[in-house]
Chain A
């Protein structure tokens, strides 16, 4: 167990560099901030329909590119909970929360912090703290997830 942990860190760093490179391409080539919730949300609430092609093509890349990489990764299992009520509640909270806060892990976290945005930093602190509380409550106290 112990010797597998640093490998995960290295894969995390490599994957992270790729995520940042994707954000750099989206910024320098297209002039856009790579925020997943903003790209999706602009399609859902029609506020970003004028750039729908760019958004859809971006999401197609996110959706498709993991497929050829399946053999690279040790386990494709995502370990998602089988509790449908928890999944629906979590999805609703993520959808509403990211749109009200105007960003998620990619927009506020990666793109915001890297430009030293106070909003990005504050949002990141709050969603990590809230996520920590959710795990304490629902894993350690209630044992749901």
Chain B
């Protein structure tokens, strides 16, 4: 059952990304292009996605997932450097290509070879991430200016 639910969830996610136009890189870049021809579609997608999720979170306290096990723990309150730095790196790449991880997978069947190249580069980046993370940690230790503690 766990796998059937996972397929349904992934299917809804992929179909939703396709229908919303979020696999069209020009629409994503249009959203980020505040000083150009701004396209607010992404706000409708985000808003639409947050509604069912917000309702779903209300069912979590005091219950168990349908297939058993446990729900995710409450969100970590600490912000930290990795969250900010990683998000800035991610956002920069997102703006460059107009693709984030979900849509990059959803568009593989119709986006052409460039989407496969993007996903390949993204997978390499994910492989490199632990190295970059420890590099950041060692830089932080040698920096007297930085008074923050590592978050993750």
Check if A15 sits within 8 Å of B84, measured CB to CB.
no
Counting chain A residues whose Cβ lies within 8 A of the other chain, the interface size class is 35 or more
A54/B3 contact (C-beta < 8 A), A15-B48, A90-B99, A100-B89 known: yes
Give CA–CA (A129, B97) in the complex, Å: 15
The 5 closest A-B pairs by CB, nearest first: A95-B125, A16-B48, A15-B20, A61-B10, A91-B121
Check if B6 sits within 8 Å of A27, measured CB to CB.
no
1/0 contact string of B1-32 vs chain A (CB within 8 Å):
11101111111111111111111111101001
With A19-B20, A27-B60 given, name 12 new contacts (CB 8 A). Answer: A13-B45, A14-B48, A16-B20, A40-B105, A41-B129, A45-B129, A62-B106, A90-B93, A95-B123, A96-B128, A126-B84, A127-B87
Choose one: B16, B34, B86, B133; the contact of A19 (CB below 8 Å): B16
Choose one: B22, B75, B129; the contact of A117 (CB below 8 Å): B75
Residue from A19, A40, A120 with most neighbouring chain B CB atoms (10 Å): A19
What are 22 A-B pairs at a CB distance below 8 A? A12-B20, A15-B48, A16-B48, A18-B16, A19-B49, A24-B55, A27-B72, A30-B5, A30-B67, A36-B101, A65-B12, A78-B107, A80-B114, A96-B129, A97-B93, A99-B86, A115-B75, A119-B77, A128-B91, A131-B92, A134-B91, A138-B96
Across the interface, which residues of B come within 8 angstroms of A133, CB to CB? 91-92, 95
Check if A91 sits within 8 Å of B75, measured CB to CB.
no
B83 at interface (Cβ–Cβ under 8 A)? Answer: yes
A94/B122 contact (C-beta < 8 A), A26-B9, A114-B50, A126-B91 known: yes
Across the interface, which residues of A come within 8 angstroms of B41, CB to CB? 8-9, 11-12
Choose one: B72, B87, B102; the contact of A106 (CB below 8 Å): B102
1/0 contact string of A51-62 vs chain B (CB within 8 Å):
001110111111
CB distance from A16 to the nearest CB of B (A): 2
- The B contact surface, by secondary structure, is helix
Across the interface, which residues of A come within 8 angstroms of B65, CB to CB? 27-31
CB distance from A7 to the nearest CB of B (A): 10
Check if A80 sits within 8 Å of B98, measured CB to CB.
yes
Check if B64 sits within 8 Å of A31, measured CB to CB.
yes
Check if A82 sits within 8 Å of B17, measured CB to CB.
no
Check if A86 sits within 8 Å of B10, measured CB to CB.
no
Choose one: A8, A62, A117, A130; the contact of B10 (CB below 8 Å): A62
Choose one: B24, B92, B127; the contact of A130 (CB below 8 Å): B92
Give CA–CA (A45, B92) in the complex, Å: 22
A132/B18 contact (C-beta < 8 A), A40-B126, A84-B117, A127-B91 known: no
B145 at interface (Cβ–Cβ under 8 A)? Answer: no
Choose one: B5, B10, B69, B90; the contact of A59 (CB below 8 Å): B10
